Amino acid sequence: MLHIYFGEGKGKTTAAVGLAVRAAGRGLNVLFVQFLKTEDSGERLAMEQLESIDLVPCPTELKFVEQMTDEEKLECRVYCHSIFDRSIRNALLGNYNMIIFDEIFSAIEFGMLSEVELFNFLTNAPQNLEVVLTGHHPGEKILPLADYCTEMKLLAHPYQKGVSARKGIEY
């Protein structure tokens, strides 16, 4: 089944992590893939402790896409394609019960991946594979495929008051 957590509000990654932990607690094997994020997040540190969750490595440093040079964007695009393709191959081998693509909609929105590639994977994914996607805006081709779909709506956030991201809360 396909799970989508999307929107401008906080909680998309948190929901995906919660589902990964629940699945691991029941003995399911999970592949957790993050796009446009670094290794420096509390959820990664916690999930590393769980035997049933495999984390695809993230860069140790990464600029926001808007701050990248053209060369850095190209490098990021190549990296995103690499981890997407490798993750799909692993999923198709049957090594995992669940695959999570965190911030994949943002990767598509910024031109790091193609919506067509994701659509092709989703329409050909094994029937017994749970797929979880997160990000701000799912594409028009992807949203109708969802079995579970939750929109996170921003009503209030400390960032609006000038409060920077806090370790253990936002990352």
Q: For residue 171, is it within any domain?
A: no
Residue 146 belongs to domain spanning: 2-161
pLDDT of 38 reads: 84
Q: For residue 109, is it within any domain?
A: yes
In 3-state terms, what secondary structure has residue 91? helix
pLDDT in tens, 121-166: 999 999 999 999 999 999 899 999 999 999 999 888 888 888 888 8
Nearest one of 90, 136, 138, 132 to 115, comparing CA atoms: 138
pLDDT of 165 reads: 84
pLDDT of 30 reads: 98
Q: For residue 26, is it within any domain?
A: yes
Q: Are strands 148-151 and 30-34 parallel, antiparallel or unpaired?
A: unpaired
pLDDT of 160 reads: 81
pLDDT of 57 reads: 87
Count Cβ atoms below 10 Å from residue 11 Cβ, excluding itself: 15
Q: For residue 152, is it within any domain?
A: yes
Q: For residue 103, is it within any domain?
A: yes
Q: For residue 125, is it within any domain?
A: yes
The count of structural domains within the chain is 1
Nearest one of 94, 150, 138 to 113, comparing CA atoms: 138
Predicted structure pTM score: 0.90
Q: What is the mean pLDDT of the chain?
A: 92
Q: For residue 51, is it within any domain?
A: yes
pLDDT of 96 reads: 96
Q: For residue 166, is it within any domain?
A: no
CATH assignment of the domain containing 154: 3.40.50.300
Given a cut of 50, the residues of the chain with pLDDT beneath it are none
